[in-house]
Structures are given as structure tokens and as C-alpha cells.
Amino acid sequence: MKAWEHFKTINHHKGEVMKNCFRVGMYKQGLLHDLSKYDPKEFLVGCKYYQGNRSPNAAEREAKGYSSAWLHHKGRNKHHFEYWIDVDMDRGFEVAGMQMPVKYVLEMFMDRIAASKTYRKEKYADADPLQYYNRTKDVMVIHPKTRRQLEILLKMLAKKGERETFRYIREHIIKRRR
């Protein structure tokens, strides 16, 4: 088991999200982000499947056919679009993504940046979160408005960088919510 390495990885990831949330004025979400990763149901699985270059949930999924840590995590963290999957009664009880509150879309965006920085390390580029999103977007069960909001931010990050994207978030999204 690689407990120390996993602990350092989740602390790094959480620190990156916190730093970025603070940069746009989302202090509470920065502080509370991903606390469930320290729960034994997630932490011990992360130690067992730790690899350092990707999420241990992927390795657990490959080994067992599912990830118990991910199922625990997504059910407790509202910044994951999977938390918002439910039955849409207006669409004949079809499973669908529900619209996420903007503060969680923003946290999801920060989470994607932090995950890319954590696993790509010195190879990180502002286009990485968009490239990762593009590899998985066709299978995402996500509300169309939430998808648009996330895509706007990911594309802006890739094209204009963090400084300009975070300024946009502070001045055009956060300010409007107050």
C-alpha cells in the first residue's frame, strides 16, 4: 500500500482546488472540497490502487469492474455531475442529468484543473482539462445548460489561460450571484 504517496496526492489536489477557489472568491467550497477522500471508504481504496499518474479509482474499476471509492465519492460531492443524475419525470422517467447550481459547476471546473495539474505535473498546459473533457464528453449524462457552462470555461481556459478565465469568473459569474 502506498498510503503516504496517496495522502500527498490528495492533499496536493485539494490544495490546488482550494487555491483556485480562493482566487475567485469561493472560500467555503475551497475549504470543504473533497473531504470525503479522507474517509476510509475512499482513502484505503486509494492507497491500495495508487499509481501516481492517474486516479486510483480507474485502477480499482479495471480490477473489480466498478469503483467502490468513486461510488462513495460522487454521492457525497455536489461538484461532480454524476451527483446530479436522477430520473427526469418530464421525459418519461428517463435517467438524465439535472441542472447543477452554478457554484458547483465552478467547483467542478476548478476540480478538473487541479486533477490535470496533479497528474500531468510539469507537463500541465491550460488545454489539458479541455482535452480530458473532450475524451469523455460523449458518454456524460449531464444537463445541457451545465454542459454549456462547463464547456465555455474549459474553452476559455485553453484559449486565454487561468488569469483571464478567473477574472471572467470573478467579474461576470460570482459578482452576478451576489
* 176 pLDDT above the threshold of 80: no
**In contact, 175 and 167? CB cutoff 8 Å:** no
Q: What is the pTM of this model?
A: 0.95
Given this model, what pLDDT does residue 87 score? 95
Locus of grid cell 461532480: 80
Instruction: Tell me what the pLDDT averaged over the chain comes to.
Output: 96
Mean pLDDT, rounded, for 85-110: 95
* 139 pLDDT above the threshold of 80: yes
Looking at the chain, the whole-number percentage of residues with pLDDT higher than 70 is 99
Beta-bridge partners for 87: 95
Ranges of each domain in the chain: 3-177
Grid cell locating 12: 496536493
Given this model, what pLDDT does residue 178 score? 59
Grid cell locating 30: 475551497
**Among 50-54, 107-111, 165-169, which stretch is predicted with the lowest mean pLDDT?**
50-54
Confidence of residue 47 (pLDDT cuts 50, 70, 90): very high
Please name the amino acid found at residue 37.
K
User: d(Cα 148, Cα 128) in Å, to the nearest integer?
Assistant: 18
Confidence of residue 168 (pLDDT cuts 50, 70, 90): very high
**Residue predicted with more confidence, 90 or 145:** 145
SS3 98: coil
**Residue predicted with more confidence, 175 or 73:** 73
Q: What is the pLDDT of residues 86-96, one digit of tens each?
A: 999 888 889 99
Mean pLDDT, rounded, for 47-60: 95
Given this model, what pLDDT does residue 1 score? 76
**In contact, 138 and 146? CB cutoff 8 Å:** no
Cα 106 from chain centre: 9
